[in-house]
Structure 1
Amino acid sequence: MTLIKSISGIRGTIGGSPNENLTPVDTVKFAAAYGTFLMKANPKKRLKVVIGRDARISGEMIQNLVVSTLVGLGIDVIDLGLSTTPTVEIAVPMEKADGGIILTASHNPKQWNALKLLNQKGEFLNAEEGARILEYAEKEDFSFAEVDELGSIQKNDSYIDIHIDEVLALPLVEAKIIQKAKFKVVVDGVNSSGGIAIPKLLEELGVEVVKLYCDPTGHFPHNPEPLKEHLQDICKLVVKEKADFGIVVDPDVDRLAFISEDGEMFGEEYTLVACADYVLGKTPGNTVSNLSSTRALRDITEKHKGTYTAAAVGEVNVVAAMKTTKAIIGGEGNGGIIYPESHYGRDALVGTALFLMLMAERGGKVSELRKSYPAYFMSKKKIELTPRINVDKILASMAAKYKHENPSIIDGVKIDFTDSWVHLRKSNTEPIIRVYTEAPNQSKANALADKIIEEIKEITTKE
């Protein structure tokens, strides 16, 4: 059982002992710390916070605890009930709220849950803000409201529909063009809120929908991370139904993966590539993804005469880089699409609409579209180290070893070679180094990873 406290929120497994798992005690403490953070930033203001959750079995319990804690602090709550991460993100500024909390452990299995924290713009908190909340939680520095000052609760279950309307209103989304294409699509909603939101959006766009695991019970029928080994059922059903493609989302609907008409994975890394290809073709500009994402986005961006920027891993870092470079689209290689024309957050509904527009205008098969993009293959490995080894020193040694390649050191060490790259990052919770590589074929990606691992091991033996 696990409890992980970080600057981006708190997540853990349900049950067990306080301070070791995500228990009711820990949930209340962290919700109170977040509410206190907002109150200290706005000392003379009556505050309002938007709350939404995915369909996890523990979701309603955690939501009741969080809502009651905020009310106890004197904060008004807009309760969206069953929702998605991007839906909560757009609701915060629409409601003129002071913040938001999404109750979801994203792609983690059903025993997990988490509190993801937003600012008044509906964007994730930065590292400094997150650290302050952890400090309040540690000190239990809370002051609850007296009875006449308790907060109120307003329930609003219309925001998924509002979110869909916002997607349909985007200038680059034209429902009539998609309707004419007469698409047939299989949707795997992993029995969470994506099983409501994605089919509703598709039906509004005139798409024939075949539902798979779209009943939001929270009983995930497979590991909810949208990786190939977890998605055999939809891969088979796309072929059986003679569908144009399949759509897979994670439980909170911020990650998006496609299945080609032949039952093969389109590739999560290429979700952003395809959506960016469509957007850049209509509105030329810049793009951003994180250092561990495919180089194909850079290639597509440069093809459209834009500039690509690599940010440190983490949505908040990608968003900051997008704002700095005025990027018109960005995201992460895990299938997260960030389209500022909508909002600064990963959004599978926006990504779905952009992809449908691309396919409607370009025609052909999804497998053919995938083959039209630069072919890259990734290897993701790790090196386990003993606690006595200084990971920062090892990374510095690797940066020095490859200094002639001008490595990036904004997040670990990223070394770009002519036709490949390697990204080395340390874990914040255990003595390991993550080794991600990308190359024109899988064997080369694996070989590069193995080479780098051997070089790191040589350095550790000299320590």
Structure 2
Amino acid sequence: MTLIKSISGIRGTIGGQVGDNLTPIDAVKFASAYGTWIKQQRNKENYRVVVGRDARISGEMIQSLVMNTLVGLGIHVIDLGLSTTPTVEVAVPLEHADGGIILTASHNPKQWNALKLLNAKGEFLNAAEGQKILDIADSDAMDFADVDSLGKITVNDAYIDIHIDEVLKLQYVNAKAIADCNFKVVVDGVNSTGGIAIPRLLERLGVEAVELYCEPNGHFPHNPEPLKEHLTDLSEMVVKEHADFGIVVDPDVDRLAFMDETGEMFGEEYTLVACADYVLSQEKGNTVSNMSSSRALRDVTEKHGATYQASAVGEVNVVEMMKQNKAIIGGEGNGGIIYPELHYGRDSLVGVALFLSLLAEKKMNVSALRASYPSYFMSKKKIQLTPSLDVDGILKAMEAKYANEDITTIDGVKIDFAENWVHLRKSNTEPIIRIYTEAKSQEIADNLANKIISEIKEIANI
């Protein structure tokens, strides 16, 4: 059980000791620090913050604590209730709010929750902004409102529909062509808010949705990370229903993966590849993903005569590089699509609409579409951290060991070999070292990952 404070937000397990877990006191403390930071940004009469949550069992409790803390600071709250991360991101600028908070621990199991913090643009805070909030929390320098200056809570449960409206307005979302195809799709909403948003979007696009685990009760029926080994029920349902493909999202709906008509994974790395292929076929422009993402995006981008660049891991880093390079689409290889035409945040609703538009245009099934892209295979492994492990020392030792290779150290250590690569980094969201590899076959990728893990264990004496 732990409490993790990072640029990805304040994340921890429910219950336990104050300061070691995400207890009610910790939720109030960090909401207070965030609200104080909001008020420091501009001197004005009224402040507004949008708050939404996924369907986690602890969500209602944490949301009530967070909202009423903001009220105590004199901040007005727009309560979206059950929502998605991208929906809150869309709502912040539409509401002319000063910021937003999403209460979700993304793909973490049900005992976790988190405060994910947004600025006035509806984008995640950068490292410097996040550090200021941590400093405020440590200083206890919060000044609460008097009784006549308390904030108010306004409920607005229409924002998932408003979000869908904004997606359907996008130039390259071809709703008519999608409807004409009469697609049938199975949706695994992992019993969270994707079970509300994705079927509703599909209905608006004229797609038949077969719902699997779409009851937003927070009881995740399987590990909520959208990986192949967790999705046997979806695979079986796609085949049983003779569906065109399957869709799975994580609990807060910013990660998106597809399953082809045979029940095989399309590959979460290829969610971004396919969506980028479609957008680049309509408009020439650059792309960005993080350095743990597949080389396939680079290949597809260059096929369209555009430029690809890799950022450090973390959505805020991808967004920063997208802005610098005027990228028209980007994201992360974990199934996160960032399409700036709508907003700078990972958005599964946008991803679904772009993917369906691509299928409608190409008139091919999903397995054939996957076969049309460069074929890479990834291995994603991890080493659990203990207090005795010197992570920085381990990474330095690995950097030295492979000094003759193409090394990048802006985020952990990435070693680019001629035919494959490995990326080692400490996670922002879990107490682990991540080891990602990519190669031209699964066997080579797995063997490379196992070799690197053995070398790390030898260095660390574990």
Given the two structures, how large is their TM-score scaled by the length of structure 1? Answer: 0.95
- In structure 2, the CA distance between the partners of 1:457 and 1:63, relative to structure 1 (3 Å rule), is closer
The answer to whether the 8 A contact 2:8-2:428 is kept is: no
| Aligned residue runs from structure 1 range 144-155, under 5 A | 144-155=144-155
Distance 1:145 1:166 in 2: 36
Residue 194 (str. 1) matches residue 182 (str. 2) = no
Distance 2:361 2:229 in 1: 31
Distance 1:383 1:197 in 2: 35
Shift of 1:429: 8.8
Paired amino acid for 2:234 = I
Shift of 1:229: 1.5
Unaligned runs of 5+ in 2: none
The answer to whether the 8 A contact 2:8-2:429 is kept is: no
Shift of 1:382: 3.8
Which range is displaced more, 308-317 or 378-387?
A: 378-387
Alignment correspondent of 2:20: 20
| Aligned residue runs from structure 1 range 43-122, under 5 A | 43-122=43-122
The answer to whether the 8 A contact 1:387-1:431 is kept is: no
Distance 2:387 2:13 in 1: 25
Paired amino acid for 2:221 = P
The answer to whether the 8 A contact 2:11-2:429 is kept is: no
Shift of 1:413: 1.5
Alignment correspondent of 1:414: 414
Distance 1:9 1:320 in 2: 17
| Aligned residue runs from structure 1 range 22-421, under 5 A | 22-383=22-383, 390-421=390-421
Which range is displaced more, 387-396 or 89-98?
A: 387-396
Distance 2:248 2:384 in 1: 32
Paired amino acid for 1:446 = D
| Count of matched residue positions in the alignment of Structure 1 and Structure 2 | 461
The CA deviation string for residues 79-102 of structure 1, in whole angstroms up to 9 with x for no partner, is: 111110000001000111000000
Shift of 1:396: 3.3
Shift of 1:372: 1.1
The answer to whether the 8 A contact 1:7-1:134 is kept is: no
Paired amino acid for 2:177 = I
Shift of 1:173: 0.5
- In structure 2, the CA distance between the partners of 1:277 and 1:141, relative to structure 1 (3 Å rule), is same
Distance 2:288 2:221 in 1: 34
SS of structure 2 residue aligned to 1:211 = strand
- In structure 2, the CA distance between the partners of 1:209 and 1:459, relative to structure 1 (3 Å rule), is closer
- In structure 2, the CA distance between the partners of 1:123 and 1:401, relative to structure 1 (3 Å rule), is same
- In structure 2, the CA distance between the partners of 1:399 and 1:235, relative to structure 1 (3 Å rule), is same
SS of structure 2 residue aligned to 1:70 = helix
Shift of 1:428: 6.3
Paired amino acid for 1:116 = K
The CA deviation string for residues 413-439 of structure 1, in whole angstroms up to 9 with x for no partner, is: 112122211112235699864321110
Residue 452 (str. 1) matches residue 455 (str. 2) = no
Percent identity of paired positions between Structure 1 and Structure 2: 73
Shift of 1:377: 1.1
Shift of 1:19: 1.6
The CA deviation string for residues 227-280 of structure 1, in whole angstroms up to 9 with x for no partner, is: 112111111010000000011111111010111100111111111111011111
Paired amino acid for 2:352 = T
Given the two structures, how large is their TM-score scaled by the length of structure 2? Answer: 0.96
- In structure 2, the CA distance between the partners of 1:378 and 1:184, relative to structure 1 (3 Å rule), is same
Shift of 1:295: 0.9
The answer to whether the 8 A contact 1:253-1:348 is kept is: yes
